[in-house]
Structure 1
Amino acid sequence: MDERSKTLLKTLIERYIAEGQPVGSRTLSKYSGLDLSPATIRNVMSDLEEMGFIASPHTSAGRIPTPRGYRLFVDSMLTAKPLERNADLAELTGQIQDQLGGQQLGPQRMITAAARTLSNLSHFAGVVMTPRRAQAFRQIEFMRLSDKRILLIIVSPEGDVQNRIIQTELSYTPAQLIEAANFFNSHYAGMSFDAVRGHLRVELQDLRRDMSQLMQAAVEAGSVAEDEDDDHVFISGERKLLEVEDLASSMDKLRRLFDVFEHKTSLLQLLDVSSHAQGVQIFIGGESRLVPIEDMAVITAPYEVDGQIVGTLGVIGPTRMAYERVIPIVDITARLLSSALSQN
């Protein structure tokens, strides 16, 4: 593609993002800065359409970008301004910093605040994922609810408490439950339940049958608690996407949009992929199988604690978004969240 074609494609995408209407040759002539005849511009647009970068809606003589066009735009045509030289970005940094660290929030509240911040500043949906990882427990307790129903109380190293109900084949007395909890805490405190499972395979033969069954039940319940607790996806501002015509223009798109937020499977896959990459990643529907809706784009960045990537955050919006504005929001939020969590 020659420079003339690149300039016209960049101008077309910028105008479409700004106005939301198919872009014609007259608009391109006005905003591109090129001294070209309308016929020449139409010929270039025809070539761009053949290459798959733009498309022509049936109801208009103008053109709109395709996912392939957006991809070329964000990869090679977007102008990023140095953070330290841009007063607007300095102000943005201050806004994000205030919301993440101004109230000295705990890690969990900081993560939910990050999702809310991303949504508020982008005007789309903000999302933060913490990856699944084995969490250690500080101690457990058993509480007898009835003959064969026991409450498992799990205390994390940070003091958070989770409860799980265990159905057992045998009936346990309060004294037996205390004995089992003491054994568990003295041998396995500080481990994850997955790690305890490995130890129990070796040590079960040394335990009485009634105790071994209770231990196995506790490990299974604790592992479920770990899975539920660790694969959190915090989403803020989903309803703002209902106001985006590109995403809410048909019932089919609305159904797929709500499916993304209700089941989260595709979102988890996308965020998990992002956690293995450095810096800001942009996923565009129609050219990425990870984005289930053609008119949707997701901008993500990993965040760290003490130099180790621990999760991913991002903004979910339409492909017709102001990328040069949203990318710094995601980038700065990831950097500031990393710093705040590392200091917390």
Structure 2
Amino acid sequence: MLNDRSHILLKTLVERYIADGHPVGSKALSQYSGLDVSSATIRNVMADLENLGLIASPHTSAGRIPTAQGYRLFVDRLLTTQGSTTHAALPELLSTELPNDHPQHSIAAASQLLSQLTHFAGVVTPPRRSEVLLKQIEFLPLSDKRVLLILVTQDGEVQNRIVQTERILGINELNDAAHFLNRHCAGKTIGNLMQVLQQDLGQVKRELLELMNAAMQMGQDLSHDHMVIAGEHQLLGLNDFGSNMRQMRQLFELFEQKSTLLKLMQLGQSAEGIQIYIGHESGIAPLDECSVIAAPYRVDGEIVGTLGVIGPTRMAYDRVIPIVNITAQLLSSALSH
């Protein structure tokens, strides 16, 4: 059980280290803590905190730095967020950046804004789309054996994909294939459409089956969660990662692969409020030197996704937490219009 003096010194150490990135010695703690105690007393408290695993001493310095466990205690019990004046200006700043004309635009803008405001990576998991309703499917001939597949959903989203065919297909054949699908797709989910078409696909020419299958696959892809990440490159400029290229490579592989990170972010959909994972708490090795701050967002009051920030454990939690929280509120508002 830590006493008040230990809490004050730990809080001061964490805040000083976050501010300048240098290990903190007893002289700096005496200057910034406001405590009227001797350097010997401070050193004794630091030794106790180190024994508890809350701080550590780097090999190259006599000063101390927080451990992941120290950051956790700081965030849970010692953190004070910035004043209301700063917070009052933030919603107005953010609301001008989030378009509400289309969900994709809102989500992309939210991820970009998180990155711009924190200088870390901004992450958004779009709402799960298990009930995407289809409106129209079209096939357009390109050069040689290539066909452009266009799929339009009821909410106005347009997806396209180039399909390579076995032979050159004429415009009439493509129109027939599109007409065949459009007879069944309007207002249906991709699952409904696949069930309806199972009986009729035997009547379709073999050359057109691959177009049908490509359309089905594209529709299924729309129902999967796709994570939007912005500002990963900002992590390259941080001293916290700059000298560890192996760690950076693993981190960027995580961003590229996405599925593991997606599972972590989705945990926030089952919890209320801000979720904070510090270091190894995420259970994902490339994030062992990172913190993830996440918050759920809603559409019409129902939690549908998560957004957040990924940065080093040495981050200004008192500033980043309100940014994530308010951005979640603003995205909820934009998507609920």
TM value normalised by structure 2? 0.87
Is the CA contact (8 Å cut-off) linking 1:130 and 1:231 kept in structure 2? yes
Aligned mate of 1:236, from 230, 236, 239: 230
Moved more, 230-239 or 19-28: 230-239
The residue aligned with 1:106 is 102
Identity in percent: 54
Q: From the superposition, tell whether residues 43 and 98 of structure 1 become closer, same or farther in structure 2 (CA, over 3 Å).
A: same
Give, as a single letter, the amino acid of the residue that structure 2 aligns with 1:47.
D
Q: From the superposition, tell whether residues 291 and 335 of structure 1 become closer, same or farther in structure 2 (CA, over 3 Å).
A: farther
- Which whole-Å CA distance do the structure 2 matches of 1:105 and 1:162 have between them? 17
Q: CA deviation at 1:178?
A: 3.9
- Which whole-Å CA distance do the structure 2 matches of 1:12 and 1:22 have between them? 9
Moved more, 290-299 or 242-251: 290-299
- Which whole-Å CA distance do the structure 2 matches of 1:332 and 1:91 have between them? 11
- Which whole-Å CA distance do the structure 2 matches of 1:33 and 1:173 have between them? 82
Q: How does 1:235-274 map to 2 (within 5 A)?
A: 235-274=229-268
- Which whole-Å CA distance do the structure 1 matches of 2:298 and 2:103 have between them? 12
- Which whole-Å CA distance do the structure 2 matches of 1:242 and 1:170 have between them? 47
Q: Deviations over 1:204-246 (max 9, x none)?
A: 4xx5443698568524543345426853333222222122100
Is the CA contact (8 Å cut-off) linking 1:285 and 1:292 kept in structure 2? no
Q: From the superposition, tell whether residues 276 and 40 of structure 1 become closer, same or farther in structure 2 (CA, over 3 Å).
A: same
Q: Note the aligned Cα RMSD (angstroms).
A: 2.9
- Which whole-Å CA distance do the structure 1 matches of 2:94 and 2:49 have between them? 39
- Residue segments in structure 2 that go unaligned for 5+ positions in a row: none
Q: CA deviation at 1:131?
A: 4.1
Give, as a single letter, the amino acid of the residue that structure 1 aligns with 2:95.
Q
- Which whole-Å CA distance do the structure 1 matches of 2:268 and 2:57 have between them? 33
Q: From the superposition, tell whether residues 121 and 174 of structure 1 become closer, same or farther in structure 2 (CA, over 3 Å).
A: closer
Aligned mate of 1:189, from 181, 186, 190: 186
TM value normalised by structure 1? 0.85
The residue aligned with 1:317 is 311
Counterpart secondary structure, 1:298:
strand
Give, as a single letter, the amino acid of the residue that structure 2 aligns with 1:133.
R
- Which whole-Å CA distance do the structure 2 matches of 1:213 and 1:51 have between them? 69
The residue aligned with 1:308 is 302
Is the CA contact (8 Å cut-off) linking 1:281 and 1:300 kept in structure 2? yes
Q: CA deviation at 1:57?
A: 0.7
- Which whole-Å CA distance do the structure 2 matches of 1:257 and 1:208 have between them? 47
The residue aligned with 2:153 is 156
Is the CA contact (8 Å cut-off) linking 2:277 and 2:293 kept in structure 1? yes
The residue aligned with 2:121 is 125
Corresponding pairs, count: 335
- Which whole-Å CA distance do the structure 1 matches of 2:268 and 2:307 have between them? 9
- Which whole-Å CA distance do the structure 2 matches of 1:288 and 1:128 have between them? 17
Is the CA contact (8 Å cut-off) linking 1:194 and 1:223 kept in structure 2? no
